[in-house]
Structure formats: structure tokens, C-alpha cells
Structure 1
Amino acid sequence: MTFVKEHVMPTTHLIRRVAVLGAGVMGAQIAAHLVNLGVPVRLFDLPSDGAEPSRIAQQAIERLKQLKPAPLALPELAAQIVPANYAEHLPLLADCDLVIEAIAERLDWKQALYAQIGPWVAPGAIVASNTSGLSITALGEALPAALRPRFCGIHFFNPPRYMPLVELIPTPATEPAVLDALETFLTRALGKGVVRARDTPNFIANRIGVAGMLSTMHHAQRLGLGFDVVDDLTGKKLGRASSGTFRTADVVGLDTLAHVVRTLQAQLPDDPLAAHFAVPAVVETLLARGALGQKSGAGFYRKSGRVIQQFDPASQDYAPSGAKAEPFIDHILKRPAPERLRLLRESSHPQAQFLWAVLRDGFHDAALNLAAIAESARDVDLAMRWGFGMKQGPFELWQEAGWTPVAEWVAQDIAQGQALCATPLPAWVFSGPVAEAGGVHAEGGSWSASRGAFVPRRHLPVYERHLFPERVRGEGGAQPLASGVEEFRNKEVRVWSLDGEVLIASITAKLHLISPDVTAGLLRAVEIAEERYRALVIWSPDDVFSAGANLEALMPVFMAQGPAGVEPVEKALQDLMMRLRYAQVPTVAAVRGLALGGGCELAVHCTQRVVTLESYVGLVEVGVGLLPGAGGLTYLARRAAELAAAAPGVDLLHFLKTSFQAVAMATVSTSALEARRLGYVLPSDVIVPHRDELLCVALSQAQALAAASYRPPLPVRFAVAGRDAAATLEASLVGMRDGGLITEHDRHIAHAIADVLCGGDVPAGTLVTEDYLLALERRHFCALIAHPKTHDRILGLLQTGKPLRN
């Protein structure tokens, strides 16, 4: 097997401020993501007449507050984007270290703008175009010669806040160090997954992804499948984005899709699949009607009241949607990959034929274009994961299903005229290193068709912080739950260390739900950490910190013993929270993704939190008819008392209102920044842009706390707001109940929440302990779990996965 060693380049370019040129959908949202992560940004557009010359940029900034999904982590961050216009403010480019052009996809317009900005760009600044497919080399020709070594493509995917992928595309003149510096910035500062693409039309993800969409639409029409059935087949069941194909097209915009297809059509006339590079007739029909997709309110789908309708090409009107895949197809799709693909190929059912055809065309297209569009198969697979929401890229699935058998099936279909084109698979598929390795991904490298060798990942310093980076199947590498030195393990917790100094506790249960086994495992982790480690980090290698308590494990206890049996389980969970808070070593919660209910309580009781931006945190027990019973309300009451003590003259009730509303309405933060506002993340906690850096930063924070001679806080008594404040909080929900926004049972739970937050039936200012409030929590929790309506909510959630509001 041949491997090629990568050259390591320095990354010293400091990006302090960014200019975004173009306040359209993409430009404004790129600016939003920059300010989400604290990067100062100026948003430029054309000048306007009148008193507000930068009105176009200002209006774009205001629109960011209304967009869904929200480009801004907090609406008020819009004020951090500075509006500007090309007539007055080009001198401001002098203090920008990165200039991102994101205007309309017109080569002549972009080149004209480059000529305009060229004299104002700072020496050493990087200039990049956010084009989805135009030639980067052609664009760079409009720049002054001195700027061309610092110019490249920087293709964000829509929406920029949520889609991980950014493609970097060099020209022949681009300095390698510029790409390294940009890749470092995008990864560390913006949390992006970076793939370097060749300067070919539509680069990697759109080249493969749009060809896949065209193939899907072709086979759907050929086999007479409805849009709704296709979306069900090509969504999560196929390991792809839940929006499937046609709904994804609506989200992207049918005009945008058509533009990308026409780019392929115009620039790749000799591509083997060129005959299929045409805008589908149904898309042309919808465009002619002004149905551009989600942004116009109608596309392949439209919403009529609460009903989702789909376009019917036969009647040229909208009709009901909601059809699903056949159950036996669902069964096939749950089988292991080798069996799954074989069964799909052998079945005569149209839905099975459709899926095999779509997968086969994807394998065929990826193999034919690999040499031209990407350095290696890894770049293709990661681009499709990060840019199109696939769980596996095409090469990964092919390799998992059996490289040679699948290649032979594809070759047979090509020979029989069943594939989209007659071009045979490349020779490297069947012989040489790939065939010998059983695929394009091997331990230490992925296949580069252009270099005829397996090549490893780039070794930039930024990636040294990614202790367990996202890997493609077959690549190998250390697995987090099998690495380090294991100190303890039970059915649902692994306790281990990488360095012998900081202990790591990883919850392995599904959704990291907290059961008695998890409670026992984490308690043991605290004990081990205090015995022979400097600190403890709670971290798990996926996008769930913990989705809360395991109600399925709790219900049998309740059914057998009633509330009396539940009380000691809750007490044990509360004891864990207090052990984390008062441990003799610092405890750090490394939060990524969901931290709900008990997961939120677990995080807030640690010494510190290190949180990724896309973390969704909240106390949501109201949804199952309960209140937070593992110290969450006690934490909020204590925190409010601390804030009130630091703000003389401000009533304690002021600091409880937001917490009460959040818990009573089961509010979940939409970002780590909102979690900070809700009090679940503190100002002293660290927010990390890239999820693969989370563990490294958490370990560093734990070491820093230990190095600073950490001592746990001393237990103290603190003031509570008392019975009158509880009545005031509860009264704030009466109007919502009377208006039908909440149920009477919701109000009943809110009464219990207010009682705990305010310290029970005591006068304002009464000093209490955490133990006192924890006992009050338990009493209300056990009373609620015995309530018939709570019982119905819990069973409803366990049976349907959806909350019941009774």
C-alpha cells in the first residue's frame, strides 16, 4: 500500500476583523456567524440614496432577527455587525484581515468589485470569494497582482451557522500558507469542517450532491414515485438529512438549485453525466410559477393552514402529501450494509429499484470524478457528511457494503445500460492498492486518484487539539471509548484517563440518560478522582451530553413501591449533584448538543462548564408532568440569591423571574449564548466553536483549575424570596392558563416550581441551606409522580416519543 506524507505549513496569520462584501442571504448570514463567535465584522453592500447610505446592509442585518433557523445565537448580536457601503467605507477595509466576497453569482460583477476594492485591501490581508461554483482562478485575475497569492475560494454552505462544511479552493497563485491560515481560522474560530477542493465547477459537495439530486429526480419520475415517498426514502432511513431530496431543494431554493445545475451544464459539456445536467422539467414549471421553495412559501411543497401539500405535475396544482415508504423497505434499510444493498438490487419493487439506482449512480459519479475534484476520497466523504447531512459519504457506504462486490454490481449495470452513463468505472477501483485494501480508506490514509496513493490527513497545529476527530469509515485511529487507561466501568459509564492527571467520565447509555447505574458510575468517578487525580471531566463523544433522567428505569420502581420507592432514587441523584459541587478536585462538564433535565442539572453542579456553541440546554421536566428533582431548582434559587447579594437594592424576585418562566415553560436554549442568559452557563464558563476541540479545552480548563490550588466552595445559607414571591410568580401564569396556552396541570406544576424556587412557606429573606431546598424538591417531585396526569404524560412520552400536554 503506497502512502504519501503531507507537507506541514505554518499558520501565523492573525484574523482580528472581517469584512463581508454583499448583504444578501449568504453574506448576511456569514456575518451573523462571525459575530456569534465574537469576530468583529463589517457588512458591505451598494450605497443607497438619502439619509442612510448603508440602508441595504442595515436592512439585511435587521432581517437576520426574523430568519428561521436563526442565524444569530442571540438576536441582539445583530447590533455587533457594522453596516457599510462601497461608496463611503472602502477605506475601512484597511483594518480587516480577511475580506469575504459574497455577492451574486456573476463573474463580471465579482471581477468589477475586486477591481474596486483592490487598492484598499490591507497588506497581508486575505481575500476570498464565497462562490458556489464559479472559477476561482478566473475571479482572481481581476485582482492586483500583489493580491493574487492571498486570494482563494471560501465556500460556506447554507445556513452558515449550522452547516459544518466550508470548502477552500486555491488558484495556481494562492500561497499554501494562506490556505493553512484560513483553515486554522475556520476550524478554531468558527467551528467549521474544512475540505480543500479543486477549482472545478461546483467544487466537491455541490458537484456530487447536485448530481445525486438530479439522479434522484430522474429515477423518481421514471418509477412514478411521489415527492413525499422519495423524501421519506432518501431522508433519515437512508442515513441522510431528514429533509430528504425535494424538501431539501425547497430549503436551498429552486432558483439556487437551477443556477448550480446550469453551471454544471455550461462548464462540463464533456462530463460523463452531462446528458443529465439539465434543470428538471418540474423545477422549470415551478420556477415559472414563482414557486422558489421555502423562501417564496411554495415549491415542491407548500403549507396550507396546518396541512403540508405537494405539487402534482399531472394536475399542475397542489395535493395532499404524507405518503411513506413501504414497511418492507424500512426493514431492508435496517439490515447491515452488504445485505441491504444486495436486497435492494435484487428486489423488483419500484421503491427498492429506486434506492439501488440512486446509490449506484452516487458510487459511479464519485469514482469517475474523484481525481478531478478532490485530493482524496476522504475529502469527498467528509464534504457530503458536512455539506449534505449524510451519515456516510458515498465511498464509506460502498466500502462498508463490500468494495469489490459492489463495484462488480455497478459494472454490470453499466454494461447492461442501466446506469446514467456508459463510462466504465476507473481501473483503480478493480486493481492495485484500493482493491488490495478493500476500499479507498485505510488506516493512516485515503485514496488519492490523482496521485495514485493513499494520503494522510493534513497535520496542521489546529488539529492537535482534536483528540478524537471525526473520521471516515476504514480510516482507523483511536476510539475514545477504547482509549486511555480505564479505571472503572459499569453498564452505562466508562471512567478513564488519557494523561494520568485528569479523569474522564463518559456516559455510554442511550442518549446518555441518567439511570441508577449512571448515578453510581459518576459517584465512583468522583471518588477515584479525589483519590489519585487532579480533576474530573464529564465528556462523551457525540452530540448529547445527557437528555435527562431515564424515566423508563424509574417507572417500574414507582409501579412497585409508589412515591416511597422513588424518593431514595431522587435522593441518590441529588447526592451525586452535591458530590460534584463539593468535590475536593475541580469537576468540569464538557457539554455538546443536548443537556436536558437531569443533564442540565449535572452540568450546572460542576465546578465549570465548557460548552460548544450549538448546545441546547434546559430544565424540561414539565413536559412529563414533573419538576426538576436533581437539584436544578435549588441551583437556580442559590444563584438568584448570589446575584441579589451582589446587587444591593434589587429585589431577589427580579432574579427569579427568568428562571421561573424558563422552567415552567420548559424553555430550551437555542445556543450556548442563550444558555448563559438563562443561567445554565455562567459568564466564567468557556464556549468552544468546534465540537472536536471540546475535550481538549475541558482537560485544559480542569488542569488550570487544579494548578490554581482549587478548593471547593463552602456550604452557606442563603436568602429565599418566600411565600409572597411564589404567589407572584404563579400568578404570572394564570392568564396563560385562562387563554389556553397552558393546561391546569401545567399551572399545578408551576405552583410546585415556584414553591421550591422561593423556599416554601417562609417569609421573604429567610436563610436556608441547599439540603433544605433539596428536600423540598424531592417532596414535590414524589407528589407529582403520583399524580394521574403526570403518569399519563410519562407513559405517553415512553410510548410515542412525543410530549403529552394534558
Structure 2
Amino acid sequence: MARIKKAAVLGAGVMGASIAGHLANVGIPTILLDIVPRELTEKEEKKGLTLEDKVVRNRFAQTGKDRLFKEKPAPLYTKETAELITVGNLEDDFDKLAEVDWIIEVVIENLKIKQELFARIEKIWKPGIIVSSNTSGISINQMVDGRSEEFKKNFLGTHFFNPPRYMKLLEIIPTESTDRELLNEMKAFAEETLGKGVVFAKDTPNFIANRIGTYGLQITLDVMKEMGLGVDEVDAITGRAMGRPKSATFRTLDLVGLDTFVHVAQNVHDTVEDAEEKAAFATSPILAKMVEHKWLGDKTGQGFYKKVKTEKGKEILALDIETMEYRPRKKLKARSLDNAKRAKTLADKLQALVYADDVAGKFAWEVMKKALLYSANRLPEIADDIVAIDDAMKWGFNWDFGPFETWDAIGVEKSVARMREEGETIPKMVEDLLATGETSFYKTVDYKPQAFSIGGQFGEIDLNEKNISLHSLKEQGKLIKGNKGASLVDIGDDIACLEFHSPKQAIGSDIISLINYTVKEAPKNYRGVVIGNQANNFCVGANIMMMLMEAQDYNWPEIDMMIRQFQGAMGGLRYMDIPVVAAPFGMTLGGGTEVVLPADRVQASAETYMGLVEVGVGLIPGGGGNKEMLLRWTEGVDPKDKVSLQPLANHVFMTIAQAKVSMSGEEARKYKFLRPYDGITANKDHLIHDAKQVALGLANAGYKAPQARKIPVVGETGYSVLRLGAYGLLKSGYISEHDYKIASKLAFVLSGGSVPEGTLVDEQYILDLEREAFLSLIGEPKTQQRMQYMLAKGKPLRN
């Protein structure tokens, strides 16, 4: 949607400022406006400022913008992103709204205030400017009551979820007059530019995700009280065991804020007419008391959980809802939870839990049953199809399965039979499904997914053509070759995709083997290769458990061979006769980054966290990462220019020695993990498609493999400089003796070892130094301790 080149956000609270931040993330200059303060702060008075000074009049918007630098997780891709946000106020700068393409209202949730604001906007509004509200529940139609038909045609609800950068869901809510073409354009824009997953919701209380999610939380509270369970015990059931986030129920409420939750629930309570549903959304006495005491969750330091200091350190206490006092957390013991934990698939996990006869199983069944029935009963009131409801819950509440996918997973026939036995009324849509002889809401026909509709028939799910599914392609017989760790898949147009699917996509012998096969065979039949997958993360590095086991057996020849094979595979990727495009996303760490660095191009997800983090386990990069970073940082540098060469070596050294990780795809450019000509995709679902297009572009442009080049190094002089810097950190107490040993080994590799400053060395020379240093470090007891600790705890040990 090329016409959205500039935007304005009205309201600089947490949500408004974060929306402005995300618009800036994707390169859209944005005006952020808020009201004019009515009184001076103490600081402003001391500075001699008045209410007429611009800095005072823009204070609320500026505060919102400044908050973007402090919040965690970070709302901005990089700090520099904020330069695209211009602050102002709703009096002096209101006329500037006529200059933008999209106005987003994010002011207080008060219908009258919103109506007055839109009346003001229409006075300066120009036809074609899109206007939307980020309300979480106020009627979209009522907001523009009294506005012209032309204004209404360009008005809609755009409900972002918090935090806007990270939450995938965007609910688009049309008015009765919204132009249908505009809706399609906004959907495309949100998916392509903002990286969102879009669902069309109806103008009903709390729309889709908050309506169902709030109901689910309400009934969880009710069932908890009925069964006499504690909040910590319930969270043990309603988290990963049920395919929900680790924060489960009450940790999630603490994160959201109890006052926010009560407001959302009350909105449904006040607007629905059905007595039973109204009762379901009534504020729980427990919540009312907590809000009264200001126990609102994380923002007030206590909610359902409270963090306290003890002699042993920090401890998290749980609220006893009977006594309203905090107590040590209890661990719920239930065979069903153990069985669910061991289950391989989510469907197996859910069945092991909800059909169990212990306390966890009974609780999970009761909560799930009510949520499934409620979701089915809300069709077609809140949405036109089951896909919208499932997507809304997955993208807005981070559920692994939406309600109807969950129903399929536990078995529609089996679960409905039990519901009937328990006296439940089965929704008509579910009865219609079973009457057709079908036993699930979703099915695949000719490799195309279909969903059961309200009309009683199956219809093809409308998917974006950019959503390439590697799983579906393999089902269609597009697998070229595969093993337990990786697959090579034909993704069309003579492009092959190298997919990692080992546990956590960790690099082991299976992946190395398939990389070597790809290097040898792909150029015979394909025009390019994409390296990518559709797991939770791109690659968390090499298989350190395998490495550790070999080291503990003193099997140095085996480790040496593994490193040589990894280095050789990476060299093969770098010098293939067809273009290689890496498509990283999520955690791309250690060996994962080393896979990306040799690629001709990188098409990264906006949410890519890259870094050479081997020092965290007492090692240095062993798959060519040191060599690749030197190549990138010294490209085009005259080896005789010793003044320029040393600072570049310092940059590479600090990046690797400090295990620096980019917090976005854009920030990866700062460390040269991405180059200026590498691309970034906002929507992860489109990543394989976009990488494929880059590969095709290179092939069509007459791709030729790169030639090896010499690397200028700082030599012995530079080695002393790097080592001296590390020694200063050691003596200052910032690093340990073992950290210093690792840093010294790294410095030797990056400086080129015992050669004069400015020497040109070849790539293999650096690879040999790297391999020798890696072998030396992995034999160190303290390195092996770090590796064991990482495997056991999932975090680095400083020893």
C-alpha cells in the first residue's frame, strides 16, 4: 500500500507511543501528538519555563517517545529508529494531520472524547486519508456517529496488541460504511509492511481475541476456586501443558495488569445482553479486592505473585486467594502433567491431560470445555469463520492452537460425547459438522487446507501466496533429499531450500552431510539455494553436547575432524556456483550465525537475534566465523593503512569477545552480521518467499561465484594491543582468568598470529588458527564446566 508514506498517532501513552515506534521501525515517518499540559512540573518551574514554551506543550508526546528507549522488551529496532518520530501536541500541530496518509487514534477509552476528536479531525481531513482507532472495545460505528459518509468510508478499527512490535495480531474492524477495497488494502499493508497477522473482526464488545481470552481467564478463576487450587498450581496446568505460553494464567495477568483486565472484562459485562454471559464477565471478588489494594501485578510490584528478598536471595511468592496473603510456591504433582510433558506432539499432550482422571486433568478439561463451547457459540456474532477465531487466539494470546484446532486435537467426537454426558448444550455448528460425517474442523484436500464454515460446508482457507509451507511442499513430494537433521526441498522456480530440523536446529553431522550434498548436487539442477526453516528459531548453534562428550573422552582427532568438516561445509556454501541466500530469524546464534555469514545475500526477519556467542561456553567460533567477520570488516582496506586496520580488528574482537547479539535484524547491520545490501522481511511468514525472490534475482542477473581474497591482519603488534585491552579488563575485575585465556586465544586468531602488521593472509590460514584455538580451549576443564552448565541451565557460567 504505497500511499501510506507518513502517519500520525494521537495519544502518547504506552500503546500510542509503541505504535508510533513500530511505524518508525518499518520506515514510516510518524507524528506523535498528545494533549497540552495544564500545569508545570517542578523541573520546568526551576528552568523558568512557562505553559507557552514548546518543550512544555509537547511534554506528554516527548515523554512517550523517551519511554521507547527504556521499555523492555525494546519497542524499537534500533535507537536511531526514533529519529522518524516527530513529537507535537493536539493544539499547535493539529493541522499537520492533513499532511499524513494514516491517522491512528489511541486516546483514552472514552466514547465521548473519541467522538469529539473525530469531529475535529474531519474539519481538516482530506479525502483519501485513512483514519482508524486502536480501541480495545468501544464500538467503531458509534465513534463516527454524525460524521460524513465519505469520512466513514475511510474509517475503521485497527486494534494492535501490546507490545506492537512483537505481537503478531492486528484486528481490523470495519464500520458499516468502510470501503471494502480499503479493507483489503489495509490487510495487505499490515501483513507486508507491518509484519502483522490480520483478522477481520465484527464491531462487538472486545472484538475477537480479548472476548474469548478474557472469558477463558474468568472461567479459570471460577474453576480454580471451585476445585480449591492455588494460582501457582493452576499455572502449572494452563501453561505449556495446554499449549499456552509459559506465563500461563496468573503470571500473564500480572504482566497485563489486573486493572487493565478488569476494565476489559467489565466492558463485555456492561454491553452484552445475555444474562448468563453477563454473569461470566462479572468482576471476581478476588480481583476487585486486589485492584482496591493496588495489587495490580508487575507495575505495582505485586499481584498474584510477589518477588521478595530472602537470605537465599530472591524468592517468588504466590497469593493465597483464601487468606489474601503470600506464601511460598507449591509444585502440583499430577501424573497427567508428567505424561503431557513426555508427549511428542501437542495433540498427544492435550489428550494426555484433558482425558486424565487426576486433579490436573479434571481442571484442564473443565476450563477447556467451557472455552471451546463459548468460542463456537460466538459464531457468527464476533467473526465470520473459525479461522479468524483460531488465528486471533494464536497471534493475540500466543496459544499454540486456536479453539477449533484444539477441538480437532482432542477429538471432536470423543469430546462432544463427554460434553453431552455432562449435560452441556452442543452449539449448532458443531452438531452440523458431526452430521456431515466429518470429525474435524480442518482438513486438507489436494494439499490445500480447508475449514468448516458456519454454512455447514468446507471451504478453502485464503492464504497469502507468500506463505510458503515447507511441510506442505514435502507432503507434495518436493523433498529432494533429507535425513534426521535436515532436508533439501524444491520450493519452485528452480530454487531449493536447505531446511534444518534437528532439535533446536543445532548443527551436527546430519546437517553437515546435507550441506555437503547441497554444495555438490544443487548446482546440477537448481539456480539457487535458500537456507531457512519454519521452526521457532533459525539455529541455536552447534551441538555442544556432542562436542562435550568427545572432549570428555579425549577424542581430539574426532573433534578436529568435526571442525574441519564444519569449516569445509561453510567454505562450500561461500563458493558454490549458484547463489546462496540465508533466511535467518529468531535466535541465530554461534554456528547459526556462521551458516549465515558465507551466504551471497541474507534476507533476515525483522526479529533476528544474531551473534557469535561461543565465548559463553568457553570457546571461540570454530566454523569460520572469525574469518568471515575479518573479511567483512576489512573489505576494501589498504593493508598498508595500519591506522585504519587496528580499529577494525578491535571491532571484530569486541563483537566476538563480548558475545554481542543483535536485538533486531536492523541492529545486525551494526555488527556487520548483515551488510547494507542484505534485506529485511517484516513478516516472518513471508521470509522463505522473499529469500527465494532474492536468489532468483541473483541468478537472473548472471550470478558468478565470488573469488577468494587475501585478508589483511594486524599481526603481532595488533595481537599485543588486543591482549593488552583484555588484560586491563582482567585487572579491573570485569573478566575472569578463564575469560582472559579465551580472549587471548581469540586475539591471536584475529590478529593473524605471528606475522608482521599488514600481512595479507589467505582464508585457510585463519581457519587453521581458529581450529587450533578451538581444540585448545575445549580441552580446558573450565570450558567443559561452562558447556555442562549451558546444557543444564540454558545460560552461561562465569568461572
| Fold agreement, TM-score > 0.5 | yes
Unaligned runs of 5+ in 1: 1-11, 416-423, 470-477
Q: Map Cα deviations across residues 556-614 of structure 1 (whole Å, 9 max, x no partner).
A: 44455532321121111111111111222111101122211111001011111100011
Q: Which amino acid aligns with 1:370?
A: L
Amino acid at match of 1:611: A
Aligned mates of 2:697, 2:681 — CA distance in 1: 16
State whether residues 339 and 353 of structure 2, in contact with CA within 8 Å, keep that contact through their aligned partners in structure 1: no
Assess if the C-alpha contact under 8 Å between 1:371 and 1:448 holds in 2. Answer: no
Tell me the residue number matched to 2:439.
438
C-alpha separation in 2, matches of 1:121 and 1:753 = 60
Structure 1 residue 35: Cα displacement: 1.1
The correspondence of residues 424-503 of structure 1 with structure 2, limited to 5 A, is 424-432=425-433, 435-443=436-444, 444-449=449-454, 451-458=455-462, 463-468=464-469, 479-483=472-476, 485-499=478-492, 501-503=494-496
CA distance in 1, matches of 2:534, 2:584: 10
Matched, 1:257 2:265: no
Partner of 2:22: 33
Query: 2:177 & 2:103 partners in 1: Cα distance?
Result: 18
**Pick aligned residue for 1:50 from 43, 52, 74:** 52
Aligned to 1:349: 358
SS in 1 for 2:171: strand
**What is the distance in 1 between the residues matched to 2:266 and 2:788?**
52
Partner of 2:378, secondary structure, is: helix
Give the residue type in structure 2 aligned to 1:220: M
Deviation at 1:646, TM superposition (A): 11
Shift of residue 791, structure 1, vs aligned partner: 1.8
1:329 aligns with 2:329: no
Cα 1:641/1:533, change in 2 over 3 Å? same
Task: Kindly state the Cα deviation for residue 141 of structure 1 after the two structures are TM-superposed.
Answer: 1.4
Answer yes or no: is 1:796 the counterpart of 2:798: no
Report what 1:732 is aligned to.
Answer: 725
CA distance in 2, matches of 1:21, 1:189: 21
Which position in structure 2 is the counterpart of 1:406? Answer: 415
Q: Please report how far the alpha carbon of residue 13 of structure 1 lies from its aligned counterpart in structure 2 after TM superposition.
A: 6.4
Where 1:669 maps in the other structure, the secondary structure is coil
Match of 1:135 in 2: 139
> Percent identity between the aligned chains?
35
Are 1:309 and 1:321, in contact at CA under 8 Å, matched by a contact in 2? yes
1:727 and 1:643 mapped to 2: Cα distance?
24
Q: Which one of 604, 620, 633 corresponds to residue 611 of structure 1?
A: 604
Alignment partners' CA distance in 1, 2:546 and 2:369: 44
Residues 557 and 46 (structure 1), Cα distance of their counterparts in 2 relative to 1, 3 Å cut: same
Match 1:240 to one of 244, 252, 255: 244
Aligned pairs (5 A) from 1:519-558: 519-558=512-551
Q: Which amino acid counterpart does residue 281 of structure 1 have in structure 2?
A: P
The 2-side partners of 1:574 and 1:687 are apart by 27
Aligned runs of 1:29-428 on 2, under 5 Å?
29-48=18-37, 49-51=51-53, 52=55, 53-270=57-274, 272-305=276-309, 306-321=314-329, 323-326=331-334, 328-332=336-340, 334-335=342-343, 344=353, 347=356, 349-415=358-424, 424-428=425-429
Task: Go from structure 1 to structure 2 and tell me whether the alpha carbon gap of 1:762 and 1:331 turns closer, same or farther (over 3 Å shift).
Answer: same
Cα–Cα, structure 1 residues 520 and 432, in superposed 2: closer, same or farther, change >3 Å?
closer
Q: In structure 1, what is the equivalent of residue 45 of structure 2?
A: none
Label 1:203 to 1:708 Cα distance change in 2 as closer, same or farther (>3 A). Answer: same
Which of 616, 627, 639 is the matching residue for 2:632? Answer: 639
Q: Distance in 2 between matches of 1:222 and 1:645?
A: 75
Match for 1:284: what amino acid? A
Q: Secondary structure at the match of 1:464?
A: coil
Residues 232 and 325 of structure 1 are in contact (CA less than 8 Å); yes or no, is this contact kept in structure 2?
Answer: no
Cα RMSD of the aligned pairs, angstroms, is: 2.3
Superposed counterparts of 1:584-733, under 5 Å: 584-642=577-635, 644-645=637-638, 651-733=644-726
SS in 2 for 1:302: strand
Of 322-331 and 635-644, the range deviating more from structure 2? 322-331
1:409 Cα deviation after fit: 1.5
Code of the aligned partner of 2:29: P
In structure 1, give the amino acid aligned to 2:798.
R
Q: Distance in 2 between matches of 1:433 and 1:527?
A: 52
Superimposed CA distance per residue, residues 655-682 of structure 1 (whole angstroms, 9 cap, x where no aligned partner): 2333322322222221111211111111
Moved more, 162-171 or 789-798: 789-798
User: Which segments of 5 or more consecutive residues in structure 2 lack a partner in the other structure?
Assistant: 38-50
Normalised by the length of structure 1, the TM-score is 0.92
What's the CA shift string for 1:76-133, capped at 9, x where partnerless? 3222211121111122222211111111111111111111111222321111110111
Pair 1:676–1:684, CA change in 2 (3 A): same
CA apart distance, 1:414 = 3.5
Query: Residues 686 and 168 from structure 1, CA distance in 2 versus in 1: closer, same or farther, beyond 3 angstroms?
Result: same
Contact 1:558–1:565, Cα closer than 8 Å, also in 2: no
What letter corresponds to residue 8 of structure 2 in structure 1? A
The answer for the alignment partner of 2:47 in structure 1 is none
Deviations 1:436-457 (A, max 9, x none): 22122233432333x4443433
CA distance in 1 between counterparts of 2:238 and 2:588 reads: 29
Aligned-partner SS, 2:673: coil
What is aligned with 1:472?
none
Deviates more, 1:632-641 or 1:288-297: 288-297
Shift, 1:731, TM fit: 3.6
Task: Work out whether residues 480 and 541 of structure 1, in 8 Å CA contact, stay in contact via their aligned partners in 2.
Answer: no
Q: Deviations over 1:320-355 (max 9, x none)?
A: 336345355232464577776666556553333211
Task: Between the two structures, name the one with larger relative contact order (CA 8 Å, sep ≥ 6).
Answer: 1
Q: Distance in 1 between matches of 2:83 and 2:61?
A: 12
- Partners of 1:340 and 1:584 lie apart in 2 by 45
Relative to structure 1, is the Cα distance of residues 514 and 412 closer, same or farther in structure 2, using a 3 angstrom cutoff?
same
SS for the counterpart of 1:591 is coil
Tell me which residue corresponds to 1:3: none
Distance 2:592 2:355 in 1: 46
Question: Amino acid of the residue matched to residue 318 of structure 2?
Answer: Q
Give the TM-score normalised by structure 2.
0.92
Whole-Å separation in 2 of the counterparts to 1:761 and 1:292: 61
CA distance in structure 2 between the aligned counterparts of 1:492 and 1:342, rounded to whole angstroms: 28
**CA 1:333–1:564: 2 relative to 1, 3 Å:** closer
Paired residue secondary structure (1:617): strand
Q: Distance in 2 between matches of 1:69 and 1:108?
A: 33
For the structure 1 residues 93 and 430, does the alpha-carbon distance in structure 2 shift closer, same or farther, using more than 3 Å as the test?
Answer: same
Letter paired with 1:187: E
The 5 Å alignment of 1:733-748 reads 733-734=726-727, 736-738=729-731, 740-748=733-741
Which deviates more, 636-645 or 572-581?
636-645
Q: Are the aligned partners of 2:242 and 2:349 in contact in 1 as well (CA < 8 Å)?
A: no
